Amino acid sequence: MLKILRSSPHKADVTGVPMKDIAFISNEPTPYRLHLLKRLADEQPDLRVHSIFTHTFDTAHVPWQMDLSQIPRTVYFEQESLHHSNSFIQCWKLSGQIVQYLKTRNIKMVVLNGYGDLCRMMIIQWAKKHDVHILLRGDSNIHGQDKITGIRRMVKRMTLRWVAKRITALMPMGRCGQAFFDHWMGKHNLPSFICPYEPNYSQIRTCGPRSCSSFMQEKHFDAHRRHFLFCGRLIDIKNVDLIISAFERICRMRPNWDLLIAGTGPLEGKLKAMVSAELQDRIKFLGFLQFDQTIACYCASHVLVHPPSYEPWALVINEAVAAGLPVIATDVVGAANELIEPGINGLLIKPNDVDALTDAMLQISDGDTAKQMGSKTHEVLQRWQAKADPVMAIVNAANQYA
């Protein structure tokens, strides 16, 4: 069953401005996806974006509070929507529904987020036969690809080279994403439009002292202390255990610093059990935070620490930089390679190295180093936004293909 959620008519629908119809296909709604769709609706009156979601809105995987009615033409297919494991028949039914939707509205350009299910492959194949332009957007990056070996490596190469022959253009997040596509697709002549994830920067920048103070009171923070922050799911690949170990090493040398851990996940109990009795008051587990709470948490913190073994993008780095925090991150994170200038607004370290993480936390918490690095974050972010605005990437693509 097709469901279309929409707010009041889009201003271009009412004024009669000539329209370009494009479809934006994603799996689930997330705050950063909705932010991009809302920007397109608000800033581009000649674009009519159809926001199609392929997966069930499962609150276990989509825990954020979001108002989808703000986004014109939010579309999903209730009975055919996908889950996290799907049969050929499910994918075939949903792809047929999406194709019918595209055909009846004469949509000639599709921004397809991801390629990793049969439904998307079927849409790509149909689009190639019917002169519909598919622009593949993905957050994968080149780091970590050496761990894919054997039959998995062969299948991935074959899949992406099959995709490359049937799409019109690429929309990587940044340099590491471009390198990923070039590595797996081999020789190709596909144009690229850099189209990264981004949070609602203006909402982050407008977090005022009142919101920060209220959050600190709610969480019982001491306003005179300084805070390292980890923000994300508590899973193996994030290496939160390394942050706790590194903090335990430096805690006596940095007696005025605490560690905040925002997020939840299967390792929460194990991580809490790691904390020694003497640090129970200095390592605080905050649980899952909604976006407004996360913003307030950034405002109450002084350094973001994000050391995963691998992460395709990591929007948390965009958020922290927008909030004025310097960042310690591993060099296998997509966003870190774009938004951290080592020694200027943060530090890049190798993954899975507790010694390197310890040294970085010591260095950045020395004297006014964190404050000085934090003062440079907005300049770094401005440079990134100037060359990698996702709205302009979609507009430039639509001018060619829609």
Per-residue H/E/C for 277-316: HHHCCCEEEEECCCHHHHHHHHHCCCEEEECCCCECCCHH
Nearest in space to 316 (alpha carbons), one of 287, 284, 286, 294:
294
Instruction: Check residue 2 and give its pLDDT.
Output: 61
Most confident of the following: 69-78, 142-151, 328-337? 328-337
Side-chain-side CA neighbours of residue 109 (13 Å): 21
Q: Are 37 and 51 in contact (CB under 8 A)?
A: yes
Read off the pLDDT of residues 290-344 as tens digits, 9 standing for 90 and up: 888 999 999 999 999 999 999 999 999 999 999 999 999 999 999 999 999 999 9
Cα–Cα distance for residue pair 23/265, rounded to 1 Å: 33
Mean pLDDT of the chain: 92
User: Quick one: what percent of the chain has pLDDT higher than 90?
Assistant: 79
Instruction: Check residue 5 and give its pLDDT.
Output: 56
Residue 247, class by beta-carbon neighbours within 10 Å (0-12 exposed, 13-18 middle, 19+ buried)? buried
Q: What is the mean pLDDT of residues 285-290?
A: 94
State pTM to two decimals. 0.91
User: Where are the CATH 3.40.50.2000 domain residues in the chain?
Assistant: 2-199+387-401, 201-385
Residue positions counted in the chain:
402
Instruction: Check residue 166 and give its pLDDT.
Output: 97
The helix (H) or strand (E) run that includes residue 241 is helix 240-250
Nearest in space to 215 (alpha carbons), one of 321, 300, 319:
300
CATH architecture of 2-199+387-401: 3-Layer(aba) Sandwich (3.40)
Got the DSSP string for 346-387?
EEEE-TT-HHHHHHHHHHHTSTTHHHHHHTTHHHHHHHHHHH
Quick one: 201-385 is in which CATH superfamily? Glycogen Phosphorylase B; (3.40.50.2000)
Please list the alpha-helical segments (H only) found in 105-149.
118-129
